[in-house]
Structure 1
Amino acid sequence: MAVSLTRPLAPEPYAMLPHVASFDLVSEDVRHGEPLPDSVQAPPGGNASPQLSWSGFPAQTRSFLVNVFDPDAPGASGFWHWVLVDVPVTTTSLAHGVGTPEGNRLPPGAFHVRGDHGLAGYEGAGPPHGDRPHRYYIAVHALDVERLGVTVGAMPGAVSLAAVRHTLARGVLMGTAQR
């Protein structure tokens, strides 16, 4: 017997967190509310992290956290596609494709933790075949600390939990994907 993938739409993840200010987050690859290009989707797509640029964050910002989250993935906890920690405050953009597992193109001091795919680095959108469109929230969090205090072995949910009390503001883009 096949399991039905029909289920209620998951809530917008950042609406459930304490309210913070917002700032501008733009991408040459992702347009808010539109389908993600093949270049940032899982294979057979290009599986490259999207280009991102941000501005207008609070002057008190000391570092950034970047993540990509799919709240619509089957299961109770969504799916973390990318978690990039301790991005220096002097970094206000990331080039297309910096999210490689090796991390050799990351800003100095920044590091990936393993996503739900089990590896460090970016994993593109890859919703189950036949499922409804999934939403992929790309967020840059402006933090009030230079170092979040997590290690490369931290789980994505633990990083998110640590960031909540240090988030000053957040920029969010949302793209969709369906197979």
Structure 2
Amino acid sequence: MPARICSTVAAAAMAAMIAMPASAGDFRLTSPDMPDGRMPAAQVLSAAYGFGCDGDNRSPALTWEGAPAGTRSFVLTVHDPDAPTGIGWTHWVVANIPADAQGLDTGASGNAARLPAGAVETRTDFGLPGYGGACPPEGREHRYVFTLTALGMEALPVATPEAMPALIGFFANAHALDKAVLEVRYGR
């Protein structure tokens, strides 16, 4: 990206973050699959990935309410800030979720018919689009932070299945109206 475009985009992102109002607590994200704040086996990574976990690797159901006025779409990210990488680990990214959506069904990841029309799953730190469940190293519990960002634009033009999590995050933050966060824990 040329330097002039980068500085313009960076300035827009900074202005959006400064102007973003503090949440009044009305915008909420919940999950009927994780009501006690714990990640159950259904949402844990499967043995097929070779990380040593043996879950079902099924994306959880999520519901939300209280999106701010002017919301035109949403971006969902799931991030483990405790992963031993120095920068955490992104487990799921769904962009361009329509503003009229009120949630995602259990197992929606990887099933276009179960995702809201227009929603795009992008790459994660597993290298592919779609949900990758929890699988921390043994010995310590990790936090899994589900963040739903309400955007003032209909779609992120950079949201393709090949887009990296940082790119989606950069543009989502540049157009954020508010965020709803759900944190769950898992350890083995």
What is the TM-score normalised by the length of structure 2? 0.80
**Contact 2:98/2:117 (<8 A) preserved:** yes
Partner secondary structure for residue 86 of structure 2: coil
Q: Following superposition of structure 1 onto structure 2, how do residues 79-118 of structure 1 map, counting pairs within 5 Å?
A: 79-100=89-110, 102-118=111-127
Hey, what does 2:175 align to over in structure 1?
166
Measure the CA separation in 1 of the matches of 2:119 and 2:126: 20
Deviation at 1:30, TM superposition (A): 1.7
In our comparison, the structure showing a higher alpha carbon Rg is 2
Q: CA deviation at 1:136?
A: 0.0
Q: 2:134: which partner in 1? A: 125
Aligned mate of 2:86, from 56, 65, 76: 76
Out of 62, 65, 68, the residue aligned to residue 58 of structure 1 is 68
Q: Which amino acid aligns with 2:163?
A: A
Note the C-alpha offset of 1:67: 1.0
Q: Secondary structure at the match of 1:31?
A: coil
Instruction: Give the CA deviation at 1:169.
Output: 0.9
Question: Partner of 1:14 in structure 2?
Answer: none
Q: CA deviation at 1:158?
A: 1.1
State yes or no: 1:25 paired with 2:29.
Answer: yes
Offset, 1:24 = 1.2
The size of the alignment, in residue pairs, is 160
SS at 2:77 equivalent:
strand
Whole-Å separation in 1 of the counterparts to 2:104 and 2:150: 15
Residue of structure 2 equivalent to 1:178: 187
**AA in 2 matched with 1:160:** G
Are residues 1:39 and 2:42 paired? yes
Gaps of 5+ in 2: 1-16, 47-53
Structure 1 segment 6-21 matched on structure 2, within 5 A:
20-21=22-23
Structure 1: stretches of 5+ with no match in the other structure: 1-16
Instruction: Give the drift of 1:47.
Output: 0.7
Q: In structure 1, what is the equivalent of residue 12 of structure 2?
A: none
Structure having the higher helix fraction is 2
Match of 2:150 in 1: 142
Q: Is the 8 A contact 1:85 1:148 kept in 2?
A: yes
Sequence identity, in percent? 41
Shift of residue 103, structure 1, vs aligned partner: 3.4
- Check conservation: 1:103, 1:112, Cα contact below 8 A: no
Q: Distance in 2 between matches of 1:108 and 1:127?
A: 32
* TM-score after normalising by structure 1: 0.84
